[in-house]
Structure 1
Amino acid sequence: MAAKTQKMEQKKEKLRKIGKESKKNILSAMDIRQLRDKILSFSLDDGDLGSQGYTKVLLQLFGYTGHGKSSLINSCKYVLGKGESFKEHAEAEETDHGLTMVRNAYPLTDVITMVDNRGCSKLNDFERAEVYAQLGNFIPIGEKVEWKDNYSAMMEAIEKSELEPNFSDFIVPIFVYNVRKQMSAEEKQDVKTFMENCIKMTGIVPIIVLSFKTSADYLEIEKQFRLMGAETVIAIDNYTKMSHIKTLGRTTDILMVIDIALKNVRFRLELPRNPKRERIERKKFMYNYIHQI
């Protein structure tokens, strides 16, 4: 009799847990709809000081070649849509060589655009200078990014960008890293330096996106990035042509990347900003950096 009563209690407890989990999933689904709607309706005029001259939020993707920048763009566009039809907007492939050679832009909304910048095999001085040129909007959208190896060519490229200066984009840097890779001591120092200079150029600590979340121990990689000064680290599994069935957890993770970027924008717009002056400061940084290398 006691054993039978115990089994009934266990069954009731199991049903209670199932009920709680079901309720949790329903609430999470509601949260996703609210989060998606918040992103889709985002406006630069929402703050007390308005847009202050900015017209667009530019989510700038950086990282080593083949780490999932293009896949992140495809995933973001997919989760913001309401259908189950996956489309590959940015050409993506799991390779160490990477496919992106041109600095391409992919609108998520009328206000938010993601930029797929050319990845690099290693962040040496000259490649890093080109990365900063992309970050500072000194290389036009749609232009092929070539790794220059001399001072004159770099200075000429920056001066050329002044023919049609772009100062109305609010730049948010995002660094994508594949958790299946192991960072060497040299790479750690390179990434740390890149993060520090992102703050100098944009006022924002780069958002770290760890791709291939379930393929390795991402917690160890996350720890390494936090020790480098990262404030936000989000691990995700991208949607692909081969794996595109929408799930609650995967969709939430990807939406959170966009949401935290917009929170950074709102935070920075709480204080007076001058887009033209900030572009001048980015240009000074580029000149100083090029002189140093």
Structure 2
Amino acid sequence: MDIRQLRDKILSFSLEDVDLGSQGYTRVLLQLFGYTGHGKSSFINSCMYVLEEGENFKEHAEAGETDHGLTMVRNAYPITDMITMVDNRGCSKMNDFERAEVYAQLGNFVSIGEKVEWKDNYKAMMEALEDSELEPNFSDFIVPIFVYRVRKQTSAEEMQYVKTFMENCVKMTGIVPIVVLTFKTEADYLEIEKIFRILGAETVIAIENYTKMSNKKTPERTTDILKVIDSALRNVKFRLEQPRNQKRERIERKKCINNYIHQIQVQQEIKKHEIERLEREKHERERRKKSVFKVWGRSACGIF
């Protein structure tokens, strides 16, 4: 399939183009996740650029060049009448509650256009989840996409998080996240691809984003970017071949998040009790030490 055919296929995609129809879904939501500064916003700009004719590059999503990232608000960018990309807030330190917030964005429990505030306690997370029920969203078909910069040094802890993230994406959406490796010429992306496949990734596509400084369209760069969107749509069609229940799926996503937050709370309680136990033991050791010195002092002075 050449570039024009691939582009036309994406632009003409409809949720009705399956035997069971849309089953109530009105749009495909391509949910972008990843660490700050790994190129999520640039990827959105690239996707919009390759779907347009000509070479008039526009920066629809503001892209940062550092690891600090710029996205603080959960922004949506329609790339066709049927497909919308969402630039979710990226993560840096990735503590437990930041991870829970990532899943809240994935499950559509954070409204489009809403600023994403990292919560730091169980109560705040649960209240935010309950508030999301004021305007529940049932009609978005969610496809998770994980964006990763190839030059990033991968730690064992990070990779364990990514593995858990992919597993939870399957539980919440039924889809294994598509992995997009950005800045493919900065390092050996084949080695990074191998790592992600070991972690369970089924589709890994390495790309070079188009930017303000580098926007001359080439067949390879354009094809790689289009392949990501096409892979997402093939996942949608595959899932829509089976009967779906939008409301039930939202409930199941919420159960997953509630369970995740509950586990965080339990772990924090365990850590708290362990810290308190260690403090008690420390105080007891100090008390005994003082008691021994006191007895020793009296003995040395001949006082009993």
TM > 0.5: yes
> Residue 138 of structure 2 corresponds to which residue in structure 1?
167
Instruction: State the 1:180 CA deviation.
Output: 0.8
Instruction: State the 1:93 CA deviation.
Output: 1.7
1:151 to 111, 122, 126: 122
* 1:185 pairs with 2:156: yes
Aligned 8 A contact 1:66 1:97 in 2: yes
Instruction: State the 1:91 CA deviation.
Output: 0.2
Amino acid at match of 1:285: C
List per-residue Cα deviations over 1:240-265 (Å, max 9, x = no partner): 00000000000000000000000000
> Residue 10 of structure 1 corresponds to which residue in structure 2?
none
Amino acid at match of 1:170: F
Instruction: State the 1:122 CA deviation.
Output: 3.1
> Residue 273 of structure 1 corresponds to which residue in structure 2?
244
> Residue 52 of structure 1 corresponds to which residue in structure 2?
23
- Note the 1:241-256 alignment, pairs <5 A: 241-256=212-227
> Residue 84 of structure 1 corresponds to which residue in structure 2?
55
* Secondary structure, counterpart of 1:60 in structure 2: strand
> Residue 135 of structure 1 corresponds to which residue in structure 2?
106
> Residue 41 of structure 1 corresponds to which residue in structure 2?
12
Instruction: State the 1:182 CA deviation.
Output: 1.3
Aligned 8 A contact 1:122 1:187 in 2: no
- Note the 1:187-266 alignment, pairs <5 A: 187-266=158-237
Unaligned runs of 5+ in 2: 265-304
CA distance in 2, matches of 1:123, 1:199: 20
Aligned 8 A contact 1:58 1:171 in 2: yes
* Secondary structure, counterpart of 2:113 in structure 1: coil
For normalisation by structure 1, the TM-score amounts to 0.89
* Secondary structure, counterpart of 1:215 in structure 2: coil
> Residue 9 of structure 1 corresponds to which residue in structure 2?
none
1:99 to 66, 70, 89: 70
* Secondary structure, counterpart of 1:64 in structure 2: coil
List per-residue Cα deviations over 1:27-70 (Å, max 9, x = no partner): x7xx1100000000000000000000100100000000000000
List per-residue Cα deviations over 1:14-33 (Å, max 9, x = no partner): xxxxxxxxxxxxxx7xx110
Structure 1 residue runs of 4 or more that deviate by more than 4 Å after TM superposition: none
- RMSD between aligned alpha carbons? 0.7
What is the total number of aligned residue pairs between the two structures? 264
List per-residue Cα deviations over 1:150-173 (Å, max 9, x = no partner): 011111111111000001100000
CA distance in 2, matches of 1:207, 1:123: 20
CA distance in 2, matches of 1:182, 1:79: 29
* 1:110 pairs with 2:81: yes
CA distance in 1, matches of 2:95, 2:21: 39
Instruction: State the 1:214 CA deviation.
Output: 1.0
CA distance in 2, matches of 1:264, 1:285: 21
Larger Rg belongs to: 2
Amino acid at match of 2:21: G
Instruction: State the 1:175 CA deviation.
Output: 0.2
Identity %: 84
* Secondary structure, counterpart of 1:220 in structure 2: helix
Amino acid at match of 1:271: Q
